[in-house]
Structure 1
Amino acid sequence: MEARMNNPVMVLPGTLDALQAAGRTYENTGLPALTVHLVHLRASQINGCSFCVEMHTREALDDGESVERLTAVAAWRESRRFTEAERAALALTEAVTRIADRPEAVSDEVWDAAADIYDEKQLAALVMQIATINMWNRVNATIRQPAGAAPRS
């Protein structure tokens, strides 16, 4: 499979830098990097972005995440491998990623569960991480960015 075009973030000057900056919004907030990896992986699974699924799985493994937890992300509700905080982050990720699938985009129940665990700065970073990965997923899925093309770290 070949991409339909060069990735727009490489075509439009300044775009890659801006998105990479958005991707770092969780730093210095106390939001765990492993939680961010789970969020990125789950949104990418939902959006069918194989490029991002592969890349974020690799990054999570490089940061010490277990294969068992990564393989359980798609069925996180049925797994005992995730903390209450991670479950809240994953539920928020699913709600935001599937924002048009229900009358109330993000229910008070989902929001409150996350807000009960994360402080305002962490919650803001979590929302930004979810929004940013969804943007990347939509770009990559649209241009059919193939998996196996992510640079290795």
Structure 2
Amino acid sequence: MNQKYLAAYTQGLDEDMQLCIKADAENIAAFIAKYPFAPRITMETLEGHFLLNTRMGFIDRCYDQNYLATQLIPVLAPMQMGERDIPEIISLSDYSELSPEDTSLLPDWNAWRDYGISDGDFPAFRESLLEMENDPVDVDSEEMDR
């Protein structure tokens, strides 16, 4: 996963949490493990691209299956089973600490699955998005005046 920070929030608790958390496996796992009775937890990029959600502490959907299997589950499962302490969640209290590089990374997982982009088509789709980000937009001043 190529994100530095994620938006993480609970839904359905008496007092829901909304945090900007450091995007590493231990921190993501700590957030999930800390709120095991949250009806739903959602994590997405700061640009709003979906990564995962949980239901009652169990991962329901995760769009980055490789990250889930190789990095997140090995850290999360011991926390959930009480074999490992849940560390403090590293979060930002002041968004001014974020740089443009922290927020504008295009996800390296298929966050467009619900829009019909298959995992097989994703690499080419992502490459076209990156090309569009890097292409300057030609503005026709006559069109702008209309």
User: Rg bigger for which structure?
Assistant: 2
More helix by share: 1
Q: What TM-score, normalized by structure 2, do the two folds share?
A: 0.31
Q: What TM-score, normalized by structure 1, do the two folds share?
A: 0.30
The structure whose RCO (Cα within 8 Å, separation 6+) is larger is 1
More strand by share: 2
